[in-house]
With several copies, the nearest count.
Chain A
Amino acid sequence: MEFALTAEQTQLRDTVAQFLESRCPISHTREVMTSTPGYDKERWVNLGRDMGLGGIHAPTECGGAGLSYSETCIVLEQMGNALYCGPYFSSNVLAVNALLIGGTTESRQFLADLVSCNRTATIAFIEEDALWNLSGVQCSERDGRINGEKSYVFNGSSADLILVIARCQPEGIFGLFALDGGAKGLHKDSVKSLDLTRQLARLTLKNADALRLADWNEHKHRQFLDLACIALANEMVGGAQRMLDSALEYSSTRVQFGRTIGSLQAIKHKCAEMLLKIEFARSAALCAAQFVRDESERSKMASMAKAMASDAFMNAASECIQIHGGIGFTWENDTHLWYRRAKSSEVYLGDSNYHRENYLQSLGL
C-alpha cells in the first residue's frame, strides 16, 4: 500500500485545486447552484475534457486516463474541498463506475461519451424504503420498457443519459439499463435538496424505453456501492479539511476580549480534535481507494472510509459554524453550504451506524 502521494499525484491534486480555486470559487458556485441545470457546464467540460479528468480510472481504450481509483479520489477530495457543484460525481464517477462494472460491450460503448464529457449521465439505483442491496428494487423491465420509481438521483433532471437498475421480467434477474434523459415515459421531478450544490431528482418510469446494457447482481451492486462509498469518503475528507481551514482562518482574525479567539483553549482544542478526526478519515479514505480491486478487503475498507469521513465532516462543519459564532449561522456566510453537503453525504449510501455494522460483518464477525 502507498501511504504518500507520488509526485504525479501531488501535481494532479495541486492542478485541480488551483483550477477550482480560480475558476470555481464559492461565489461562482452560489451563482450557478440556483441556475436551471444547477451547475456551470463549461467548467465541467474544462475539468472533464480539457484537463482530462472525465474518466481518470477508465481504461485508455475508452478514452480514459487509465489511472487508478486513487487518482479519481484525489480529484474528488479537491472537489469536496471547493464544494464543486457540477455533475462530476454523478456522471464521471458513479455512472462511469456502473458502466465499467457492467463490463459488456454495450455498456462500454457509452463510456467514451461520458469520459469525453459529450454527455452527462447519472445512475438511478435507490428506491424509497430500499435497503442497500437489490432486494428492495421494485423497478421492473419487460420487453424493453421499465416501470417504477427511483429516488435520490443526483443531477437526475439534467442528465443526458440515465442508468437504471431494474428487475428483468420474466426472468427475475437484475439488469443495468440506459435511458435517454428525454425518453418517453420518463418523468423527472426535481426535488429540493438540502445540499444546495447537488441537484436531486425523483424519477417515475411508465413504460419508459430502456436499453439493457448488462446483467446486474448483488456482487456487482456491492462493488458499485463500495466504490461509491470510497469516492464519497474522499470527497467528504476534502470538505472537512475546508471546514477546518475556514475555522482556523476565522479564529486567527476574529478578536474578542482583546485576543484572537484562536488563542483560547476552547477553540484550540476543538480544532485539534477536528484535525485528528480528519486525518483519521483521510487515512481511511486514502487507503480504501487502493483496495478497489481486492474483493476480500474492499467492502470493509469502504465502510470504514465512509463512516470515518461522515463523522469527521459532520463534526468539522458543525464546529466551523460554532467557531464562527452568529456569523456562521447566516446565509451570507458560506459555512452552511458545506454543512448541508456534510449532512446530505452523512446519510447518502448509509449512515455511520450502518457502515460500522457492515465493517464488522465484512471482517467476518
Chain B
Amino acid sequence: MQWTEARVRQEVRTWLGENWDPNARLIEWRNKLMDSGWGMPAWPTHWFGKDMPDGLIPTVQEEFARVNAVGVARTGIRLWAAETLLAHGNDEQRERFLRKILTGEEIWCQLFSEPGSGSDLAGVTTRAERKGQEWIVNGQKVWTTSAHHADYGLLLARTNWDVPKHQGMTYFVVDMKQEGVEVRPLKQMNGHASFNQVFFTDARIPLNNRIDEEGNGWRVAMTTLMHERRAANALAGQSRSKTPEGTIYEEERCENTVLSEPYTWYPQRAGRVDLAIDRAAATKTLDNPVVRQELAQLLMMSQCSEWTALRARAAREKGQPQGPEGSLGKLANSYIARQALRVHTITTGLGSMLEGEDAPMEGLIAEILLSVPAISIAGGTDEIQKNIIAERVLGMEKEPRLDGGPFREVRKN
C-alpha cells in the first residue's frame, strides 16, 4: 500500500473528523494518537507510526493545523529522545519508553555535557562500571535543561578507558528519581537559572537500560544530536498565533509553561534587534549620525541573515546541492546579537548602568546586555562554529588530533 499525498490528506482528515475533540483530556488524546499512528506517521507501523515517507509529513501537519489538533508532546528533548530510542533501543526499551515520552507523561533530560567536556563533547569522564546486574555511575553532568523535572535521562558515560576516546563511551537510560542522582540549578550571569548540574554518586542503572552495544555510545549520541538539530530547524517559526478554544489547550499550555521556562531569556540573548529602531527613537539618538551607522549596520546584517537562511531553504526545496549559506546561521546570529548589544548600549547610554524594574524598559535592556554573551557560547562557541565552517563547508584541512590513543592516556582536565 503506497502513501500518496491525496490519500494521506483524505485519511488524516477523516480520522481527525472522527476523533479530534478540543475538550478531550490531553493524555487520553495523545494515547489515541500513539495507537492510531497519526502522532508519528513517519515511524514504522508496528511502533506507533504509519511508515510514511518524510515528504508527506507536512501534509499531515497541515491537516492537524487546519483543525488546531494537538500533536504528540514535543517540548524539551522528547522528540530526539524518542527518535534515539526508536533507532538504537531494543524492542523491550521501545515498549517501555516510547509511548510515555510522546504522550508527555514522563519527562526526559539529556546528560551529555560535563564541566570538563564542553566544546570537546567526546571528552566525557563520567564513568559507568558494571557491577553484577547493574551499572554504577559516578561523575558530573552540566547544562542539563529540566533535570529537576525529569523522570529519565539519556546518559553518555565512559565504560572503557583503554580505547580511543570516541570508542569508550556507552549510552544509557538513567532513572533520575533515585538516590545517587542530585540535581542542582545553575544560575547564569543574567540571573536566570535555565540549566542544572547533575551529580552522580553510585547511581544505579539496570543492565537492560543500556542503549545499543557497549562502546557504541558516541554513535548513539550522534543520532540524538542530529535529531536535536533537525528539531531546532523545524521549530523555527512554528507557533500558534492565538490559542483556540478548548480545555485541551489549557492542559497543553501548562505542560509548555513548565518546560519552556528555561528559555524565557532566549529572545534577549539574540539582542532583540526588533527593538532597535524604537529604542533609537525613544532615546532621541536617531539623529546621531554615529548611532545611525551602527543601527543601519545592525538592520542590514539582520536582513541579510534572514535572506541567507531563506536562500538555504529555497535551495533545499529545489533539491539543489546544499551551499555554504546553510551553515552560517548560528555564527551570523552571534554577530548580529553582539551588534545589537552595541546599539542598545549607545542608544540607552547612562541607562545601561541600571538593572531591574527601574531600569530602561523595566530591565529589559539590562537583560539584553547580560544575556547576549551566551549566544556566542551556547550550543557551540563561535570558534568551534568557525572551525566547522572552515573544515566542513570550505573543505580546509583538519587540525591534527592530539587526543588519539587510549583515553586513559589522553591529556584532560
Contact = CB atoms under 8 A, between A and B. Distances in A.
A330 B370 contact: no
Given A329-B188, A360-B292, A258 B386 contact: no
B373 A329 contact: yes
A346 B396 contact: no
Contact of A192 (B293, B352, B356): B356
Contact of B296 (A151, A280, A359): A359
A55 B358 CA distance: 34
Interface stretch (A56-64, A84-92, A249-257): A249-257
Contacts of A267: 383, 396
A6 to B, nearest CB: 9
A347 B347 CA distance: 10
A257 B370 CA distance: 29
Interface in A255-286: 255-260, 262-269, 271-273, 275-276, 279-284, 286
Contact of B373 (A151, A255, A327, A339): A339
A189 B366 CA distance: 19
Contacts of B331: 272, 276
Contact of B143 (A255, A326, A351): A326
Interface in A306-365: 307-308, 318, 321-322, 325-333, 335-336, 339-340, 343-344, 346-348, 351, 353, 356-357, 359-360, 363, 365
Interface residues of A, number: 78
B258 interface: no
A27 B195 CA distance: 23
Contacts of A281: 304
Contacts of A202: 358
A344 B352 contact: yes
Interface stretch (B40-48, B82-90, B306-314): B306-314
Interface of B: 113, 115-120, 123, 142-143, 186-189, 191, 277, 280, 286, 289-293, 295-297, 299-301, 303-305, 307-308, 310-311, 313-315, 317-318, 320, 324-325, 328, 331-332, 335, 345-346, 348-350, 352-359, 366, 369-370, 373-374, 376-378, 381-383, 385-387, 389-391, 393-404, 410-413
8 contacts: A4-B314, A194-B366, A200-B354, A266-B383, A269-B383, A282-B308, A347-B352, A351-B346
Given A276-B331, A344-B352, A347-B352, 13 more contacts: A3-B314, A4-B315, A202-B358, A256-B118, A260-B397, A279-B308, A279-B328, A322-B376, A331-B188, A339-B189, A340-B370, A347-B350, A360-B299
